[in-house]
Amino acid sequence: MKDNTRESLFNLIGGFVPGRCAFDLFAGSGAVGIEALSRGSTRAFFIERHIPTAKIIRQNLQSLASDLPATVEAADTFFWTRQFFKKRKNWPTEPWIVFCCPPYMLYDARGDELMELLAWFMKESPPGSVVVAEVPENFPVNRLPDSAEWRVRAYKPALLCVWRPKSYENIENTRATGQ
């Protein structure tokens, strides 16, 4: 994710980060998950299959603080996700904030698997969770699971897609208005 896109992302969702467990899927440099930790995530999981890059994420986390609540997995995100969803007892109980920012070529090469991955997180995450997907600007957003429930913003060359269940929005609106 480009720096300006990441900045825009956290301007959009910054208020939803505190108290949530962050998942930085296809983590790359880990900048998104690290930003989530700095903004109040309870902990973060970084999933990056490229072993040298995963090592850099670990080094970056260590340079910030030796006791950050973070786990770096050098694993294929698709494989890791399948394994994660098999082990419900190990799931974080607090709401999640899931960042799915894969290389754009995966939307063509493994698009169905990506949509399935997003659907799993949407279905299985605790109440109050948020899912964010960065997609290429030409991606047909109607392919997203429950596509009508996503807020989409353009930040060339990307679209940022943010999902929060409508029931959660109703709870937040009720709190804000005191009704």
DSSP 28-83: TTSHHHHHHHHTT-SEEEEE-S-HHHHHHHHHHHHHH-TT-SEEEE-S-HHHHHHH
CATH number, residue 37: 3.40.50.150
Report the pLDDT value the prediction gives residue 130, as an integer from 0 to 100: 96
> Is this prediction's pTM over 0.75?
yes
Single-letter residue type at 2: K
What torsion, rounded to 10 degrees, do the Cα atoms 12, 15, 16, 17 define? 100
CB 68 within 8 A of CB 41: no
End-to-end Cα spacing for the chain: 39
Report the pLDDT value the prediction gives residue 21, as an integer from 0 to 100: 97
Coil vs helix vs strand at 160:
strand
Structural domain count of the chain: 1
- Tens place of pLDDT per residue across the chain (179 aa): 566 777 888 888 878 899 999 999 999 999 999 999 999 999 999 999 999 999 999 999 999 987 889 999 999 999 999 999 998 888 999 999 999 999 999 999 999 999 999 999 999 999 999 999 999 999 999 999 999 999 999 988 899 999 987 655 443 443 344 44
According to DSSP, residue 144 is labeled S
Judge residue 21's burial from the number of C-beta atoms within 10 Å of its C-beta, 0-12 exposed, 13-18 middle, 19 or more buried: buried
- Containing domain of residue 40, as a range? 3-177
